[in-house]
A and B are shown apart, each in its own frame.
Chain A
Amino acid sequence: MIEFFFQFLWALDATLRVATPLMLCAMAGIFSERSGIVDISLEGKLLSGAFVAATIASLTGSAWLGLGGAICASVLMSLLHGFACITHKGDQVVSGVAINFLASGLTVILGIAIFKRGGQTPTLSSDERFRPIELWFVDILDNIPILGSVYRELISGHSLLVYVALICVPVASFILYRTRFGLRLRAVGESPIAVDSAGVSVTWLRYRALIVGGVFCGIAGAYLSISHGANFVREMSAGKGYIALAAVIFGNWRPIRAFWACLMFGFLDAITSRLQGVDLPIIGEIPSQLMVALPYIMTILLLSGFIGRPSPPSAIGLPYRK
């Protein structure tokens, strides 16, 4: 029983680690998509964030500069996306895919050019990374059964960026639903012409939404390479941007619901690695490929109307023309 409890705790702990970049990317996706811009480029922003974070941390020895660099790189990608599909009213999916390819190629080429290690960056020492931090009172609470273990194993002992991601969710929700910016942002994703006729600039509003998304993706990228990992490996985002987009759809473009979707996908990921090679009663061994594909399968089921009815922003994907 005790052993099972700890197994479960560790699974949740792993879930949180896996879900952190998903949450950040999902919030980025929500901001972008709620403003009416399809954001398939989450993956590319995540990857470029990860690369720049590792590169700068490795060159300067500062994790914070790495984080800053990641955010800048990711915002730059966002602006590129915006330039193509807001200013020049291009196709948002095409632009997004282009950014993903760009990030995929550029990170490897620059990586080889700078470090000559086949696209990887050098392994960072622990003070060049965001290390797990121990929260207050861990030792005191340790004496309380169950709660103490939950606190020590699950809540405490994560990197700063994990907590940042967790805080981002309610912050995103607050911004969307309680602030002027949020109201306008949701409005521009529903009916840009209504926003325009209310005297608010559609272009600037959408750019701001993309910039916010870029910041979130940048943090997520930094988490991958200088917090969760200790260097950049080519294609290290490994589809997390797409899964985050699936979580956005699953969460019906709402931050809190998308957060739960991220946890669910994170949990699937966490148990996949634990279940590998384990014979379960009745079902037998579950192929890991199935588990990896599960988020996508579930999203397709959702989109085809088997689980609830997603209601995307009405004006999503449509460039605004007067």
Chain B
Amino acid sequence: MSKMTQETSGGNAACYILELQKVCKSFGLVQANKNIDLQIQPGTIHGIIGENGAGKSTLMNILYGLHRADSGRMFIDGAPTRIKSSADALLLGIGMVHQHFMLIPRFTVLENVMLGSEGGALLKLGRAATIAKLKELGQTFDMEVDPDLLVSDLNVGMRQRVEILKALKGGAKILILDEPTGVLTPQEATQLFDILNKLRAKGVTILLITHKLAEIMAITDNVSIMRGGEMVGHRKTSETNPQELAELMVGRKVLLNVEKPEAKPMDVALTVNNLGCFSSRGHKILDNLSFEVRAGEILGIAGVSGNGQTPLMEILSGMRKPDEGSFEILGKKITPENEVTPNIMRENFIGHIPEDRHKHGLILSFEAYENMVLGFHNSNLTGTKKTLDRNYMLEHCNARMEEYDIRPRNSKLLASSFSGGNQQKIVVARELYKNPKLLIVGEPTRGVDVGAIEFIHKQLIALRDRGCAIILVSVELDEIMGLSDRILVMNKGQEVETIPGEDANAQKLGLMMAGISQGAKN
């Protein structure tokens, strides 16, 4: 730390390992970065926080040479620099761990690490050196990985280590991590932070991009806040607090937690009995799952993504047939022999907010009013005529847009022209309109800004209090804990445990998500 104070006291540009001045970047009409100024001190962990769409990833991609800035200046160690490609960035000692890993699943760890810095025209020339380097780095930073394993056989945490090793092996002095904990369990995140602390101790400068306040508070030295493509503030982490950061991020006061009155569970709305199903490759992806949900309660389903949540939602919404077991919705029993389609499910008053709204929730190239009746085209939402009544649909859409504050208020705009939060509001408005008795919700706030998150959460709780049974699948533990009355944790397609919402904390859920049960079943 003495090094840091000494260098800050210098006061000129040379003391920053990285400095940006007035960096701008537009994509078409969208200005993703506006006059960004940023100064990073060497040997620190610098957090960059902002909502989805605030321009963090764009900025990092500019730093890493994947995008080129329209204007602005960049200095590394005080020297003016232009980064035109990733190759330039790597030469300057900038390494990046992307949100979506840049690994090739069919390659071994070694092949992935060697890619781009093979050490000669023949692979065997660089192989031994790479293995030795990997081993050395692995031991120094406590992240050893067998170089001969296929990446497809590694879990997410290990894959991330491979990414970090890849960057370090290239000699990175500045390591950019883009939303690194999004895919990790809390325990894996803790391990990652240990590694980051060790890296900082060895003099590596780290840029941590995240939208999670807790992470900023836990590990960074300094933090810069972005909103709407601009830098809105720089703080020393020790001199700020989550509330202030949240306000800077959103630009107004926010409730970090939505108020939730006590649940009043009523009759059982959904009973799931020994449900199971197989992937197309014959793996069991849902295994002997049983639970029930009552009207007027929210059952949260927590788990690292890819542990059976998706097939469960697909089965309950009629998109996929179960292979084993059965479930009973409002007295209607469904077994593998039954014909199920999303349409039949809708007729039984089931609403579905799919986890991937672009793939299953909306047709992006359709206009808003058409999306507003999607799946309900046989109902009276399209008017009373035999054909689709365009004016009726437009009016219906206008009314919903008013009610849900969907912006811009233009029913004829393509779904793709709305922001993530407003797109999700279209889906929510559509699915809630018919007052479903059971609502299946997947990742309702993924890629949605904080303001819309608050709104959607309030809607879900209001729906619950109107007597709807809600199944909420989310990988965001804060969301699960904030909304759920009971929490079912899944691992490898099985139930680990179900606990009351008030008993949950991140530590406990994290262990359960890793498959470790926390005592007696509730």
Contact = CB atoms under 8 A, between A and B. Distances in A.
A84 interface: no
Nearest to B102: A194
Nearest to A182: B123
Contacts of B123: 178-180, 182-183
B261 interface: no
Contacts of A178: 122-124
Contact of B104 (A179, A182, A190): A190
A193 B115 CA distance: 12
A181 interface: yes
Contact of B66 (A179, A184, A190, A196): A196
A193 B123 CA distance: 21
B102 A191 contact: yes
Contact of A183 (B88, B106, B114): B114
B30 interface: no
Contacts of B64: 197
B90 interface: yes
Given A187-B115, A322-B66, A180 B122 contact: yes
Given A178-B124, A180-B121, A200-B87, A195 B66 contact: no
B86 interface: yes
Nearest to B67: A322
Contacts of A201: 85
Contact of A194 (B89, B103, B118, B124): B103
A197 to B, nearest CB: 5
B111 interface: yes
B116 A200 contact: yes
Interface string B103-141: 111110001101111101111100000000000000000
B116 A199 contact: yes
A196 B96 CA distance: 12
B122 A179 contact: yes
A179 B107 contact: no
B59 to A, nearest CB: 15
Contacts of B121: 179-181
Contacts of B105: 190, 314
Interface residues of B, number: 30
A179 B121 CA distance: 6
A198 interface: yes
Contacts of B66: 196-197, 322
Interface in A292-322: 314, 322
B122 A198 contact: no
Contact of A195 (B88, B91, B115, B120): B115
A179 B118 CA distance: 9
A136 B128 CA distance: 41
A194 B151 CA distance: 13
B98 interface: yes
Contacts of A196: 66, 86
Interface string A168-207: 0000000000111111101100110111111111000000
Given A178-B122, A183-B111, A199 B89 contact: yes
A198 B111 contact: no
Nearest to A190: B104
A179 B85 CA distance: 24
Interface residues of A, number: 22
A187 B104 contact: yes
A179 B115 CA distance: 11
A314 B104 CA distance: 9
Nearest to B121: A180
Contacts of A191: 102-104
A197 B122 contact: no
Nearest to A180: B118
Contacts of B116: 184, 195, 198-200
A197 B120 contact: no
Nearest to A184: B115
A197 B67 CA distance: 11
Given A178-B122, A191-B102, A198 B115 contact: yes
A314 B121 CA distance: 25
Contacts of B124: 178
Residue with the highest number of chain B CB atoms closer than 10 Å, among A183, A197, A199, A314: A197
Contacts of A180: 118, 120-123
A197 B122 CA distance: 21
A319 to B, nearest CB: 17
B67 A199 contact: no
Contacts of B106: 190, 314
Nearest to B124: A178
B104 A197 contact: no
Contacts of B87: 199-200
A197 B121 CA distance: 20
Contacts of A200: 87, 115-116
A197 B91 CA distance: 12
Interface string A234-276: 0000000000000000000000000000000000000000000
A322 B85 CA distance: 12
Contacts of A199: 85-91, 116
A200 B104 CA distance: 15
A191 to B, nearest CB: 5
A184 B114 CA distance: 10
A193 B103 CA distance: 9
Contacts of B122: 178-180
Interface in B39-79: 64, 66-67
A136 B332 CA distance: 82
A310 to B, nearest CB: 14
Interface string B88-102: 111100001010001
A42 B96 CA distance: 39
Contacts of A322: 66-67
A168 to B, nearest CB: 19
Given A187-B115, A198-B86, A193 B102 contact: yes
A34 to B, nearest CB: 11
Contacts of A198: 86, 90, 102, 115-117
Contacts of B111: 183, 187
Contacts of A190: 104-107
Contacts of A193: 102
Contact of A187 (B86, B88, B107): B107
A242 B488 CA distance: 53
Contacts of A187: 104, 107, 111, 115
Residue with the highest number of chain B CB atoms closer than 10 Å, among A191, A195, A198: A198
A183 B115 contact: yes
Nearest to A313: B106
Contacts of B91: 199
B150 to A, nearest CB: 12
A183 B123 CA distance: 8
Interface of A: 178-184, 186-187, 190-191, 193-201, 314, 322
Given A183-B123, A198-B116, 20 more contacts: A178-B122, A183-B111, A184-B115, A187-B107, A190-B105, A194-B112, A197-B64, A197-B66, A197-B86, A197-B96, A197-B102, A198-B90, A198-B115, A199-B85, A199-B88, A199-B116, A200-B116, A314-B106, A322-B66, A322-B67
In order of increasing CB-CB distance, the 4 nearest A-B pairs are A198-B116, A199-B87, A194-B102, A180-B118
11 contacts: A183-B114, A184-B116, A190-B107, A194-B102, A196-B66, A197-B86, A198-B90, A198-B102, A199-B86, A199-B90, A200-B115
